[in-house]
Structure 1
Amino acid sequence: MRAFVLVLAGLLLSACAASIPDDTATRSAPLPSSLPPMKLFSSPQIAPPSRFNAAIARDFLDLAFELESGRKLPVLTRFEGPISVRVTGAQAQSLRTDLTRLLQRLRREAGLNITQVERNQEASITIQVLSRAELQRYVPQAACFVVPRISSWEEFKRNRRGAAVDWTTLQTRERMAIFLPGDVAPQEIRDCLHEELAQAIGPLNDLYRLGDSVFNDDNFHTVLTGFDMLILRAYYAPELKSGMTREQVAARIPSVLARLNPRGQKIRSPVANKTPRAWIDAIETALGPKASDVKRRDAARRAIEIARVQQWTDNRMAFSLFALGRLSLAGESDIALASFLQANTIYSAGPGTRLQSAHVAMQLAAFALSSGQTEAAIRLVDENTSVVARAENAALLATLFMIKAEALALQGRTAEARAIRQDSLGWARYGFGSEKAVRARLREIAGLSQRLREGRPS
C-alpha cells in the first residue's frame, strides 16, 4: 500500500475531470511550455510524540513482536554494532540527497551509529534500485520491500521461497536488502526509503491505530515522524538486545521510555484498543485492487460499522469514512462529501492527525472549487499548507497550490494565480515525477473549474 496516498490524491480530481481530454486547453491560463527546477525540502520540522508513555510502550511491543500478517516474532532482533548502508543500481540525484538527509536524521534523532559506504564495499544494508517492472515481476503487490539475510536481487531471486528470508527465524540482524524502484517519482522513492530503511533497522509491523507514524498502512505519513524516531531510539537502547523475548522487553521498555521521553510520563492520553482482524480485512478489501467497485464500497461500509461497534472516535473511524468517501466519488458525490466531512471532524480533533486532515481538506477544496466556492477553496488550502510542508509531502502541496491558483484565477486575480501555479510546479516535479504526470495533474485541476468558466452548470 506504499503508493496509496499518491493514488488517492488524484481520485476526486479524476472523478470530477474525467470528461476533460488531456489536450484540452483551459481558459484559466495556458499550460507552461517548460517546467521550473524541482523543489526539495531542506530542514525537517519534527514534532515530538504527544502520547502517554504507557501507550507508546504497548505500541513498541506490538510493532516489535508481530509481522503485518499477524504472525508472532519470538524475539527482538536488531543490529548489534555499527550499521553501514550502500546503494547499488542506477540512482537519481534525489535519492542520494534524500538518503543523506535520512541518515543524518537517524544519527541525530534516533542516536544510531549508521553511515553510508561505497557501493563496492560490504554493508549491513544494501539498497538496490530496480525498475518497477522488474520488482513487481517477482513481488506484484509491492511498491518496495525489505528482506533479511540478503545482499542482492540475484540472491533474493534464488532464495525468495526459502527459510533465509523468513523473519521469524532471525536471532539478530547482520545483512538486509531493500529493493525499491528507480523509475518512479522522487517522492515515491523517498517514501520507500524511509519506510523500508526503518523496517530494516527496527520494527516490522504496521498498526492502524497509530495516527502519527510511518508504521501505519494508511500511509498518510511518508517520512519518519518524531514518534518513529523515538521508537527507533528505544529499539537500540542499551537496556535491550537481540534475542530478548516480548516478556523481557516488556519489563524494561517503561524505564527506557521514561529516560528517553520524560514528557511522555506526564501526558495522559487514552490507550487505543487493538484493531480486530475483521476491520483490517474490510479496509484491505476496500482499498485493494481485486474486488469489484460494489464490493469495495460494501467493505468500506463494513469497516465503518465495525468502528462504530468498537466505539472508536480515533483515526481508524476517520480512515473508514475516508475510504468510503474516496470510493463514492465517481457516482455518489453526496455520500463522498458527507464521508469526508465526518472524517475531517475526527482528524481535526487531535494534534497527531493534522496531516490526515490536510488530505481530506484537499478533497473538500476540490469540491469547493468545482462548485464555484472560491473563497472556501482558498481558505482550505491556506489552513493546511504549513502542515503539509512540515510533512514534506510535495505531491499534496503541489495539488493544494494548483487548486488555489484556479480559485484565484476564477476571482480574476491573474497575477497571483500565475505566481502560485508556478510555485506548485517545482513541488510537482518532486511529487509526481515526469513532466507528463505534472501536466496531467494541472489539466485535472483546471477541469474542476472549466464548466464555471464556460458558464455551464457543474
Structure 2
Amino acid sequence: MSHRTDGLRSLPLLALLALAACQAPETEPQPVPVPRPVARPQDDGPSQAELRKARAERNRAANAAASQALTQASLASTAQRDFYARAERALLDQGRLRRERVPLDAPIDEDALTRDFIAIALRDEYGAGGIQARDSGTPAPLRRWQDPVRIQMEFGAVVDVATRRAYRVEVSQFAARLAQATGHSVSLAENGGNFVVMVLSDDERRAIGPRLAQLVPGIPAQDIAVMQALDADNFCTVFAYSRGASPVYSNAVALIRAELPPLLQTSCIHEELAQGMGLANDSPDARPSIFNDDEEFALLTRHDELLLRILYDPRLRPGMSAAEAEPIVRRIAAELLAQSI
C-alpha cells in the first residue's frame, strides 16, 4: 500500500478587484410617492413533517443516483474494489495495519522523536513536477497553517447517503483530534473550506480536472494530471499549497478512492489529513508511525500526535530550515516525553 503526499506547492497570488460605485446623474430631487403597507399573509414556514419529508426525498434521490452510478461504473472500478479488499486482507494477515495508539513494542525517546520530526516535517517526499525524491526526500522549510483549517467533504455520485454521513462523522471526529494535538483550529465545514477531501471512484477521479480548478484556483495543471492518473498502488494522496513563496499553507486537497474497504478508508483519512497539516514526508525509520510506507500502523499513534504538537509549537516558525529548527525541536521533544501519556 502506498500513500502519496506532496508538500508545499505554490499558487499565484490572488488579485484584488476594485469595483467603482455606481452613481446616478445629479438631477433635481422629485417627490417619491410612499406606498401604503399591504398586509402580508401569515407564513409560518414549512412544518417539521414537511422538512423531514424533504430530507427523505433528497436522501432517496441521492441513493438512487449512487445506485445508478454504481451500475454504470466501469469494469476497472469494480475490479479495483476487489483488488483493495484483497490488499487490506493481505496486510492484516501479515500483522500490518495495526491500530494501537501506544504500542508497547515500539518505545520512543528524545533522539528518535527529533530525528523523525526532521525527516518528516523538513523534507519532501516528492519534488518539483511530482517526481519522487531519492533516499529520504528533498530538504524543505517548515510548513504549517496559520488560518483555521476548514475541511470540506466532496463525494462522487457512487457514494451513497449512509456512507457520506459516516465519512462526515469520522472526519469531524478526526479533525477534533488534530485540533487537540496541534492546538490549531481544525473543523469540518459544510462549504467554503480551505482543505477539501474528495471521495471519488476511479471513473470520477479521471474526470475531476474542472472541479479541482474550481476548488483550488491556480492549481498547477501537472497536479491535476497526477491526481487523474493516480497509480493503482496509491490509495490516496494530498496536495498542500501556499500563496507565492510563503511557507504558510492556504489550501489543500486530498483524494481518497471510493473503492477502498473500511480500514483503508480510515487509514487514508488519518494519514492524508495529518500530512496536510504540514508533515509532508514519510520515513522508513519512523516507528510507531503512519508516516512510514511499511504500513505497519494504520492509524495515528501517540508518536505522530507528538510530531503534530512539535510542528505547531510557537517556538518554531514557518520557513525554518532543519539546522535552525533541530535544537528547538529537541528541547520540545524532551519536554513532551517528560509528560505523562
Q: Which residue of 2 aligns with 1:249?
A: 325
Task: Assess, with a 3 A threshold, how the Cα gap between structure 1 residues 126 and 11 changes in structure 2: closer, same or farther.
Answer: closer
1:146 aligned partner, one-letter code: V
The answer to whether the aligner puts 1:148 opposite 2:235 as a matched pair is no
Whole-angstrom distance in 2 between the partners of 1:46 and 1:249: 27
Aligned to 2:148: 82
> What TM-score, normalized by structure 2, do the two folds share?
0.56
Q: Distance in 1 between matches of 2:335 and 2:123?
A: 25
Closer/same/farther in 2, CA of residues 6 and 209 from structure 1, 3 Å limit: farther
In the alignment of these two chains, the number of paired residues is 216
In structure 2, the CA distance between the partners of 1:100 and 1:11, relative to structure 1 (3 Å rule), is: closer
2:199–2:255 contact (8 Å) kept in structure 1: yes
Report the Cα distance in structure 2 between the residues aligned to 1:217 and 1:128, rounded to whole angstroms: 22
Against the structure 1 CA distance between its residues 95 and 256, is the aligned structure 2 distance closer, same or farther, given a 3 Å change threshold? same
Q: Secondary structure at the match of 2:292?
A: coil
Q: How much has 1:8 moved relative to structure 2?
A: 6.4
CA distance in 1, matches of 2:335, 2:92: 45
Report whether the alignment pairs 1:113 with 2:185: yes
RCO higher in structure (CA 8 A, sep ≥6): 2
8 A contact 1:2–1:192 mirrored in 2: no
Q: Which residue number in structure 2 is paired with residue 7 of structure 1?
A: 87
Q: Give the alignment of 1:12-411 within 5 angstroms.
A: 46-47=101-102, 50-68=107-125, 69-70=133-134, 71-90=137-156, 92=163, 93-118=165-190, 120-121=191-192, 123-135=193-205, 137-141=228-232, 142-149=234-241, 171-262=247-338
Secondary structure of 1:179's counterpart equals: strand
| Structure 2 gap ranges (5+) | 4-83, 94-98, 126-132, 207-227
Superposition RMSD on alpha carbons, in Å? 3.0
One-letter amino acid of the structure 1 residue matched with residue 336 of structure 2: L
The residue aligned with 1:379 is none
Matched letter for residue 140 of structure 1: D
SS in 1 for 2:239: strand
SS of the equivalent of 1:176 reads: strand
The offset of 1:149, in angstroms, is 3.1
Residue 95 of structure 1: CA displacement? 1.3
Asked if structure 1 preserves the Cα contact closer than 8 Å seen for 2:282 and 2:292, the reply is yes
CA distance in 1, matches of 2:304, 2:292: 11
Amino acid at match of 1:53: E
2:290 maps to a residue whose letter is V
**Post-superposition shift, 1:2?**
3.5
CA distance 1:10–1:45, change in 2 (3 Å): closer
Change (3 A) 1:11 1:206: closer
Q: What is the rounded CA distance, in whole Å, between the counterparts of 2:92 and 2:146 in structure 1?
A: 47
Shift of 1:12: 11
Taking structure 1 as the reference length, the TM-score comes to: 0.43
Give distance in 2, aligned partners of 1:247 and 1:12: 39
